[in-house]
Structures are given as structure tokens and as C-alpha cells.
Structure 1
Amino acid sequence: MTSPSVGISAPVRVLGSGVIGLSTALELRAAGHEVEVWAERPAARATSAVAGGLWWPYHIEPEERVGAWALETLAVYEEWAAEPERTGVRLVEGVHAETSFDTLGPWAGSVRGLRTATAAESPYSPGLFGRLPVVDMPHHLAWLEQRLRAAGCRLVPRTAPSLAEAAEGARAVVNCTGPGRAFPRARRGGAPGARAARPRREPRRDDVVHVHGGGGDRSVYYIPQPYGLLLGGTAEEHDFRESPDPATAEAIVRDCAALRPEITGARVLAHRVGLRPARTGGVRLTAEHLADGTPVVHNYGHGGAGVTVAWGCAREAARLVTEVPGA
């Protein structure tokens, strides 16, 4: 039973201001709940803000659930890509080198237009060519915050030292915390090591994503954003440093320039580091009750693919809140 001091009009309290927290809050509001979002950092300073923003199931488990979440999210982004200036979402052509359908889950067969790349499109065989969503994350997160405020949700700049404290006065709690907060493990990386201006000589195709490799703790990618190219990247286990490493940043630019020589002369605008909210066993998306009976839904541990599965996970989390006894 929920505490008798909590009325039916009490809010569902979402912990976390990244793309997982904001999307979950919006789905809860759409389901008719009063919603508060608690976060130590505003969305502009969340890990999601420095994510590359490419839709692709990368470094995320469990495999048997990821595909459905990712495809549901893909459908949302494809709709929003019709208004990129408003939403920050675009559809961009690109290549995943050293990748083939037989290395991916069943979800890949449901992605419209995804096909084996030609030798001209990907000299690093095999490869997959597709037109996929790329999200300008700072712009997109600001838009999601605007939608929350317009819907009457409260964004509260505070932390939750414990789930019990977060539950005080709440109808239910949804735990969407990221790295460094209470529960998740973190994996360093996620964000590019460098952000470069567009080269003076434009690439052959203006909007192009190229991802080379992806195993271990390194991959090479460049992703076009309105402000320039995002270059990456790393995925270093058990490394919580948030300050850029100069040697790593130099290696990222060098590796990307080996794929596209015109990157060599690009001016580096900034170096950024993000912490992927990884978790042993993958995403935790479950419901339970605290000792006082308050329902808690966990929605965290999305690793390197929070942007990719955000809306599929948000909708499932909102359903759990509605269905769990006592909410």
C-alpha cells in the first residue's frame, strides 16, 4: 500500500534529466500523471548533451529486448525529422563499416533502407548503408524541456540521496539516474573526444555518417551536426574522468582524418567527455516497492544507446507506473 499521506494528485517523481528521464517524464504526462523531474544537473549538462546522437543499438543489452525498444524509438525520430529546426532530429545517410546483417539482431531487417554498402560507399568491407536519425542533442534536450514545461511538469534542480527520500510526497518514483548517481555503473566514452568545425573542403556528400569498427574500447566515427563534425571515440571501462585526455583527443582526430583526409585541416572547437551509463546485465527496466509501499520503476543502464532506445523504454516505464499496484 502507498503511504496514506500521499493523495491521488501527488506527482510521479522522475529522477534524471538526460534523454531517458525527459522522455519518460513526457510519456508519464501523456498518460495523465502529474510529473516532477528531479536532477542535479540541467539537461544541458547531462551526459546526453554530449552524446553523438546517432540512432544505432550500440553497447546495450539485453539483446532480446533492445530491438523492440530501438524500432519504437526509430519511428518517433522518423516523424520528428520532418521538422529538424524544431526537434533537432534529422535523417542522414551514412555507412557502418565492418558490419553486416549477420552480426546484428533481427531488428536490422526492419530498418527501412538499410542495405549492404557498395564498394564505393564503404571501402572497408563489409559495410551497411542507411539513412538514419542523427539528433543534435543540446537542441533536442532543450526542446524536450520546453515540452515538459508546456505540459505543466515541474523541473526541480535537486538530488535524491536515496529512493526513500525521493518518494516522500510522491505517488511513485521512476529512477532514470545516469552515471555517478546511486545505482548504475558507468563506462567512460559515449561523447566524442573532439568536436571539429566543418572542413573548408566539404565532403562529397554533405550529410554523411561513417562508423568504422566498434569492438573493444575504440571505434572511429564522424557525425555531422549543425555546428560541425562530432569525432569519436572511446568506450573505456571503469574510467570516471570527465576531463579530456589530450593524447586520446589527438588520436581521435588522426583516426578520423585517415578516413576523410579533409578532416586534417579542420579547426577543433572543443573536446568533450561523456560517461555512458552502462550496467552489468544491461538495461534495468523493472518495478518494485519501497518499504513504505511506494512504487519504484527503474529505467537506467542504457550504455551507449540511450538515444536509440529512449522512447521505447519510456513508454514501457510509463506502462509499469500505471500498472504497478499502489501507483
Structure 2
Amino acid sequence: MNTRERVVVLGAGVAGLTTAVVLAEAGESLHVIAEQVPGVTSLAAGAMWGPYLVEPKDKVDQWGQRSLEIFRELAEEPATGVGLTSGIEASRTAEVPPDWATTLPGFRPCEQAELPAGFTAGYRFTVPLIDMPTYLDYLLRRLDAAGGMVERRLLASLADVGPAPAIVNCTGLGAHELVPDPNLRPIRGQHVVVTNPGLTEFFSEDTGLSPDLLCFYPHGDTVVLGGTAIDGEGDLASDDKAAASILARCAEVEPRLAHARVLEHRIGARPTRATVRVEAERREDGTVVVHNYGHGGAGVTLSWGCAQEAAKLLTAGEEDRQ
């Protein structure tokens, strides 16, 4: 790709910032345009690595594994906000473990005595946990060090970008209007952040398609409690009733959380479609546009793999243009 020409990445959530870092560190003149920096939905994530209700499976497995490799490397640097944490994913019915979990370090079935009351099966493993405010700040610092520029601006259309031979669209739910993509829909998520009463391990329930999730992720002095997954709802206002239910569900599993002090509420809308969209197109004016959105609840999990594929597509599209 011609490094003298500006490459524009739209969006500053985890998909946009990761893609921007990959491109900037490859030598591109990189310009990020986003309404929110960093994106609020990414800030609201828990976040534990693990594919969550996202397709297509073959590509998701590839993207997720590549991201896992990089998160393991980042876990060696405390300033990134990434840590390798042991914990349990459990079920109230006798379920087989997700295939992605069986390859993780320390994977083993739980003994019944390890499970909270009411749970019939569970699996222990070690996985990256990501403290999203810290991690997104890290990505912004890394982008700045690579010479990338960030501009806060709301776009009404791709034409509003201005002169640019190449654009990477990482706008998440914004792609619904910007592309437009009518296949994109929100799934509202809410987390409650509390003081850590001494937890060092995560817990997650396999709740299937239920809108009521149960998980808690310790991040040093704080714990992120989850959560909700309300399909079709994109309202980002705090829901006190939902927050109380989240606290009650988590405290039932871990009583120490019952008296933890609430620090904040984090609400986001997962950008969801039938399949993640990572593909290139050429617009009538000759601009190469690579789309990288629709990650649902797996934006963090897929971030590095999708970013690297987007970079390859961009390079291929620019070579065809020359």
C-alpha cells in the first residue's frame, strides 16, 4: 500500500483501535475518525476472552485463536490491563463444554464440591481477562506512538470522510445507518462495577440464549458483574432494576459480593448480525472500503484476528487499484 496516502479507520471501539494499531505499526499514515473515543460499548465489556454467540464458526475460530495468542503476550505487560485468570464456567444443566474452552490451559471438569448450589456441571480453565478502560487507553497510547491521528467527529455518510483512498469501517452499530446495513441490530448489555471483596477467580454461567447473564470478572481492586443481553434494545440509559438483579444473581453465587460497594454502571449495545462482516468492497469513486463490524458480544475476543484480516484485505484492495 502507498504509505504516503491516508488510511482512515472509522470507529474507536476495540475493533477500530486494534485495526488502527495494526495498520499504523505497519507503516500506514493512519487517521481514526469516531464520535466517541474510546467507544462506549467496548468500555462496557467485561471482558473475558471466549467466542459468544457469533458466526461463522470456522472464521471465528481462526480470528479468536489469533487474538488469544496476542492477549497471552499482552498479559506479560501489566500496563495493558490484560491478565491470565483462572476460574469456572458452569451450567445448571448437564452441558458439554464449549470446544474453545477445552484447549485452554488448566482445562478440567469441576468436582461437584467446586460448584455453587444449583449447578450440575462446570469446567475450570485459565483465560485472558481484560480490564477494558485500561486496555483501551493502552491501545490509544500505542496508536499515538505509531503516529496515528484520532479525530472526534460524527459522520452522516462515508462521503463525509473526505479524500481517502482507503477506509476501514469499524463503526459497530453505526454501520446500520452509515453503510447502510439493515441486518445489524443491537443487543443491550449492562454491567455493574463494584469494589473487590477479595476475589481472584472469575465465574461465568452458561446461560444460553437467556437475556439474564451471570458472571463476575475480578480486575484488581474492582469486579465487573454481569449482566444482560436484551436482543433488539439499544437504549444506553442505566436500568436500576436490571442492576439490582445482576447484583442479586452474582451474590447468590459469591456471597462476598452482597456488601461490595457499587462504583459504576456500564451499558453498551452489542453490534450483532447473523455473521461478522470482515470483507472489502470498492465504491464507485474508487475508494477501497474494508468492513470490520458485527462482532456481537465477541468484539474483544475477535479483535486482533479481525484486525489483521482487515489489514490483508486493505492491502489486496490497494494492490488491485494500482
| SS across alignment from 1:130 | strand
Which residue of the partner structure matches residue 135 of structure 2? Answer: 140
TM-score, length of structure 1 as denominator length: 0.89
Larger relative strand fraction: 2
Which of 252, 260, 264 pairs up with 1:258? 252
2:52 and 2:298 in contact (8 A); partners too: yes
Offset, 1:188: 3.3
Question: Does 2:150 correspond to 1:176?
Answer: no
Distance 2:296 2:89 in 1: 19
Amino acid at match of 2:37: P
The separation in 1 between residues aligned to 2:76 and 2:102, in whole angstroms, is: 23
Q: CA deviation at 1:160?
A: 2.3
TM superposition score normalised by structure 2: 0.91
For structure 2, list consecutive stretches of 5 or more residues without a partner in the other structure. Answer: none
Residues of 2 paired with 1:33 and 1:252: CA distance? 44
> Per-residue displacement from partner, 1:18-63 (whole Å, max 9, x unpaired)?
11001101111233221110001111x5311111011111122222
Alignment partner, residue 301 of structure 2 = 308
Pair 1:41 & 2:36 matched: yes
Match of 1:189 in 2: 188
What is the alpha-carbon distance in structure 1 between the residues aligned to residue 64 and residue 113 of structure 2? 29
Q: Tell me what 1:207 maps to.
A: 200
- Listed as ranges, the matches of 1:219-234 within 5 Å are 219-234=213-228
How far residue 64 of structure 1 moved from its aligned partner, in angstroms, is: 2.0
Q: How does 1:81-160 map to 2 (within 5 A)?
A: 81-84=75-78, 86-98=79-91, 102=96, 104-105=98-99, 107-123=100-116, 124-160=119-155
Give me the identity figure in percent: 40
State the Cα distance separating 1:191 from its structure 2 match. Answer: 4.1
Question: Which residue type is aligned with residue 142 of structure 1?
Answer: D
Aligned partner of residue 301 in structure 1, secondary structure: strand
Deviations 1:263-288 (A, max 9, x none): 11111112221111112x22100000
* C-alpha distance in structure 1 between counterparts of 2:51 and 2:111, whole Å: 22
Q: Does 1:286 align with 2:279?
A: yes
SS in 2 for 1:179: helix
Q: SS at the partner of 1:273?
A: strand
CA distance in 2, matches of 1:248, 1:101: 27
* Cα deviation digits, residues 177-199 of structure 1 (max 9, x gap): 0224524634333441x211123
Q: Within the alignment, does 1:9 sit opposite 2:7 as a pair? A: no
Would the alpha carbon gap of residues 187 and 103 (structure 1) be closer, same or farther in structure 2, given more than 3 Å must change? Answer: farther
Shift of 1:226: 2.7
Give the AA of the match of 2:35. E
Asked if structure 2 preserves the Cα contact closer than 8 Å seen for 1:180 and 1:186, the reply is no
What amino acid is the match of 1:13?
Answer: V
Gaps of 5+ in 1: 1-6
Q: Distance in 2 between matches of 1:321 and 1:289?
A: 11
8 Å contact 1:15–1:174 — kept in the other structure? Answer: yes
**Corresponding position of 1:165:** 160
Change (3 A) 1:78 1:147: same
1:8 Cα offset (Å): 6.0
User: What SS does the corresponding residue of 1:278 show, helix, strand or coil?
Assistant: strand
Alpha-carbon distance between aligned partners in 1 of 2:134 and 2:14, rounded to the nearest angstrom: 12
| CA 1:100–1:303: 2 relative to 1, 3 Å | farther
- Kindly state the Cα deviation for residue 67 of structure 1 after the two structures are TM-superposed: 0.9
